């Protein structure tokens, strides 16, 4: 009878046994200020026209003009131009993709300044 590679002969052959798995590693953090500077607030300060970043769903996109529209989570469509698309560094956008947007202004004057893919 031919044995496969790694087979052992004999009644006490149970395989190689348990493997050693390394435990969690300790990371040492230097005290002092963070090297990347202070954190900015997630919400714009009062009186500012800048809003926080939000999520939306790509609704339309025209590759010739690099513009289109997104649907906010409440179902409101919001158009974006080529400048907002270019600011996000994307090459293509498909309808139904989840995106992260940044807007400026409020109400009817709200406009998208950045469109990029939503990452978790």
> For the whole model, what pTM was predicted?
0.57
Question: Is the pLDDT assigned to residue 39 strictly greater than 50?
Answer: no
Q: What number of residues does the chain have?
A: 120
Cα-Cα end-to-end distance for the chain: 54
pLDDT digits 0-9 by tens, 66-110 = 999 999 999 999 999 999 999 999 999 999 999 999 999 888 888
CA distances (Å), origin 45, targets 9, 40, 65, 111:
74, 10, 34, 18
Q: Are 87 and 101 in contact (CB under 8 A)?
A: no
Which long-range contacts (C-beta less than 8 Å, at least 24 apart) are formed by 21-30? none
Residue 41 has pLDDT above 50, yes or no: no
**In the predicted structure, residue 36 carries a pLDDT above the cut 60:** no
């Amino acid at each position: 009878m031919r044995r496969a590679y790694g087979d052992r002969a004999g009644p006490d052959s149970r395989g190689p046994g348990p493997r050693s798995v390394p435990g969690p590693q300790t990371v040492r953090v230097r005290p002092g200020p963070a090297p990347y500077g202070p954190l900015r607030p997630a919400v714009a300060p009062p009186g500012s026209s800048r809003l926080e970043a939000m999520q939306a769903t790509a609704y339309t996109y025209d590759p010739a003009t690099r513009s289109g529209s997104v649907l906010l989570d409440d179902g409101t469509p919001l158009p974006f131009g080529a400048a907002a698309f270019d600011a996000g560094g994307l090459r293509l956008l498909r309808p139904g993709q989840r995106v992260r947007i940044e807007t400026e202004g409020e109400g009817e004057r709200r406009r998208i300044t950045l469109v990029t893919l939503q990452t978790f």
